Amino acid sequence: MTASTLYEIPLTLIDGTETTFDRFRGKTVLVVNVASKCGFTPQYAGLEALYERYRDEGLVVLGLPCNQFLGQEPGDEADIASFCELNYGVTFPLTEKVDVRGKHQHPLYAELTRFKSGPIPGLVKWNFEKFLVNRAGQVIDRFASTVEPESEPIVRAIEQALSREVA
């Protein structure tokens, strides 16, 4: 995967805005498949805290709602946006609902899951898996659903990514 490939991928934000991953060029992006009715749903609070803490330094948290794991994201985009704002004060960008695996896998996840390092290579296993993309558009880390957003491994990886200049 090249950064240019990643930046060409189309995205539809939760409000219907059509864009591409290029809107995050030069930023460090934590990409997370999210769901409103999952045991990991409280991680929205930690994701928002990370975004608030590091956004001025160039971090973007990008949530992609997904209903592929036990139907844990059943609502439409308006329901999802409302839930996230009312329950967790989410201000980071969210996309429309997507598939993160299978026949209709979103192109972003087709690229992200090519990242083979770490304990969970390959397909997304569950909600709230996290991929860290550096300022140069390269996937540099991946974290399991069980790794809390504000945990030391994620914070360290984000801080290291933010401290590096774009190549």
- Look at residue 119 in the predicted model and tell me its pLDDT: 55
42 three-class SS:
coil
Instruction: Give catalytic residue positions.
Output: 38
pLDDT tens-digit series, residues 76-120: 999 999 999 999 999 999 999 999 999 999 999 999 988 765 556
Q: Is residue 48 within 8 Å of 92, Cβ to Cβ?
A: yes
CATH number of 3-163: 3.40.30.10
Contacts of 165 by beta carbon, 8 Å cutoff, 6+ apart: 135
Q: What distances in angstroms separate CA 70 from CA 11, 37, 150, one per listed residue? A: 24, 9, 26
- Look at residue 135 in the predicted model and tell me its pLDDT: 93
Answer whether residue 167 shows pLDDT above 50.
no
Q: Is residue 71 within 8 Å of 167, Cβ to Cβ?
A: no
- Look at residue 122 in the predicted model and tell me its pLDDT: 74
* Confidence tier at 121 by pLDDT (50, 70, 90): low
Report the mean per-residue pLDDT for the chain: 92
Answer whether residue 40 shows pLDDT above 90.
yes
pLDDT tens-digit series, residues 131-143: 999 999 999 999 9
**What's the whole-model pTM score?**
0.93
Strands of the chain, DSSP E: 10-12, 18-20, 28-34, 59-65, 130-133, 139-143
In the block, which residue shows the tokens 């864009």? Answer: 19
- Look at residue 118 in the predicted model and tell me its pLDDT: 56
Mean pLDDT score, 54-74:
96
- Look at residue 123 in the predicted model and tell me its pLDDT: 84
